[in-house]
Structure 1
Amino acid sequence: MNTNDIAQNGGRKAPAFAYDGYGERARIGLIFMASSVVMENEMWAMAPRGVSVHTTRIKLPKVNVEGIQAMMDAPQLEEAARLLASAPIDVLCFGGTSGSFLHGTAYDEALTAKLKNWAPGIAVNTASTGSLAALKALDVGPVVLATPYVDAVHERAIRWLGENGHEVLASDNLRIDEDQALAEVPLEKIFDMVCAMDHPDAEAVFISCTNFRSAAVIGALEEELGKPVVSAVQASFWHALRLAGVEDDCPDYGRLFRCGLPGVGA
């Protein structure tokens, strides 16, 4: 600080303030499951300086087709979107992968349209939309798929990926139907699970479920397997950042963060 700066400040040195995560660059609003914990902390871990995350929660009765459907049909979803839209956010993210791919791509597109109607003037994405955008940005085709889902939900994930040009060459699922139990799977188990099922012809790994830890293993998996690794949380956050105009690389969290949105700035 020079003499003029001190003079303009009443003759005293300007105070140095600590960082408070205010979100002056971008604020991301998150609709997340009430019993879940993973997505919020992973988004904060990945967040560039000046980006903040703001959450409203909805209830997930059970992690099976019936429970997910009940969550998506409940009036709390609209209420959550409208509550988030009352804050000065830049992007509204629906943080449920299975909830948005439950009935395929058309279902996710209809969900996005509803969210835009409930949150007018705010950019919207879902975990499924962000994941597909991530795979497109990385220019990959066939994948291997890791999920913690029960079989019926896992099979819907395979179908949804296939209908979007990403054949699933190998997959594994943990058949967990309690939401809190999803978050308790150790990182070491997730790392070993993905490595064990990798396929030589798969061009990427996709890890689905936003209450299934993944961000911390992405860098290690990419080094081990020599291919991009996309997780639902990482992809949702990357997509939200890009929608908000934040182009930062988050180097510990995968090749994806070196990519811009497909078709933008080309």
Structure 2
Amino acid sequence: MVDSLGYRMKFGVIAPSTNTSVEPEYALMQPRGVTNHFGRIVIPDDPVRNDKEFEQLLVNIRGATEEALDAVMTCSPGYVIMGMSAETFWDGAGGAEKLKKKMEKCAGVTVSLGSHACDAALATYQKLNKKKIKKIAVLTPYMPVGDKNVRKFFTDNGYDVVALIGLKSPSPMLIAHEPASKLRNAIMELNGSNPDAIIQVGTNLACSAVAEEAERWLDKPVIAINAATYWFSLRDAGIKDRMEGYGRLMAEA
């Protein structure tokens, strides 16, 4: 017997309790027969005004992640998605690999990370466009210490980060309050550095629709982490359904 609704795949998703964007964005992209089941990393919505407070946010997340994973595994998902971003970039490519191995050991199933999904998205766009991507620009909601780790991840993977805008959102919950107009303006500013691709990270920034529109304006890859991570997880789990409205990855790859 299989799950009556998640008969193709039950995704377990780990996300901070303060995150109000990743769950609805994933829900919009789930194909028939695929269900998303969230385990919340319970953290306070403390102010984030500087690097020290941002690093404390990461301490809070790390302290509650395994408990959230244990909770979501009680529904026996076939695959786990890390629906949070900063930790998946921390300490660059090496840190991401360590995190993936740790989470998979705890979960006993495959675990996807947003950092790896963004890297896979860049590689896939190179195949779609038959054009090398070397220069990238990045949008984050983070403080400088978070931006430093995002930059390190992409540099470790061979990309030149030619521009980066960190929005310095004032708390983890308030990341979701950044308006679409602000995201659009930031993407346009990043495009002034003439990158081959633009990437948005931070799963509580509701950027999937903005990125999909920006791809049409700018005629280049604009990758939103939630769309990239859900696309990557579907494909990695063997689900090939395509859909319009969430960028070329979901529609064509």
TM-score (norm 2): 0.87
The residue type equivalent to 1:117 in the other structure is K
Q: What are the equivalent positions in structure 2 for 1:34-53 lying under 5 Å apart?
A: 34-53=17-36
Q: Which has the larger radius of gyration?
A: 1
Q: 2-side partners of 1:26 and 1:164: how far apart?
A: 30
Partner of 1:128: 115
Q: Which runs of 4+ in 1 moved over 6 A?
A: none
Instruction: From the superposition, tell whether residues 111 and 49 of structure 1 become closer, same or farther in structure 2 (CA, over 3 Å).
Output: same
Other-structure match for 1:14: none
> Does the 8 Å CA contact 2:41/2:67 hold for their aligned counterparts?
no
Tell whether the 8 Å contact from 1:144 to 1:202 is kept in structure 2 after alignment. yes
Residues 141 and 258 (structure 1), Cα distance of their counterparts in 2 relative to 1, 3 Å cut: farther
Give the counterpart of 1:157 among 150, 157, 168: 150
Equivalent pair of 1:144/1:199 in contact (CA under 8 Å) = no
| From 37, 49, 59, the counterpart of 1:69 | 59
Per-residue CA deviations over 1:206-243 (Å, capped at 9, x if unaligned) read 00100011111122100111011111111110111012
User: For structure 1, which runs of at least 5 residues remain unmatched after alignment?
Assistant: 1-20, 261-266
How far off is 1:86 after superposition? 2.5
- Residue 259 of structure 1 deviates from its aligned partner by 5.4
**Does the Cα contact within 8 Å between 1:150 and 1:177 map onto a contact in 2?**
no
Corresponding residue number in structure 1 for 2:9: 26
- In 1: Cα distance, 2:71 partner to 2:90 partner: 24
Q: Give the secondary-structure state (helix, strand or coil) at the position aligned to 2:177.
A: coil
The equivalent residue for 2:168 is: 175
Partner of 1:57: 40
> Contact conserved, 1:36 with 1:180, CA < 8 A, in 2?
yes
Identity rate, percent: 27
In structure 1, the residue matched to 2:218 is: 225
| Corresponding residue of 1:10 | none
How much does 1:66 deviate?
2.7
- Separation in 2 of the partners of 1:100 and 1:69? 14
Aligned residues: 237
Matched with 1:3 is none
Matched residue type, 2:58: I
Residue among 66, 88, 92 paired with 2:76: 88
1:106 CA drift (Å):
1.2
2-side partners of 1:229 and 1:23: how far apart?
30
Provide the C-alpha distance between the structure 2 equivalents of 1:259 and 1:59, rounded to a whole number of angstroms.
36
Distance 1:57 1:86 in 2: 13
Matched, 1:114 2:102: yes
The amino acid across from 1:184 in the alignment is H
Question: 2:242 matched to which residue of 1?
Answer: 249
The question of whether the paired residues in 2 share the 8 Å contact of 1:123 and 1:243 is answered with no
The answer for the alignment partner of 1:210 in structure 2 is 203
CA distance in 2, matches of 1:167, 1:60: 34
CA contact (8 A) 1:169 1:199 kept: no
User: Which residue number in structure 2 is paired with residue 190 of structure 1?
Assistant: 183
In the alignment, structure 2 segments of 5+ residues that lack a partner are 49-53, 127-132
CA distance in 2, matches of 1:147, 1:194: 11
Shift of 1:36: 0.9
Counterparts in 2 of 1:48 and 1:141: CA distance versus 1, 3 Å? farther
Q: CA deviation at 1:197?
A: 2.0
Q: Give, in angstroms, the shift of residue 91 of structure 1.
A: 1.3
**TM-score normalised over the length of structure 1:** 0.83
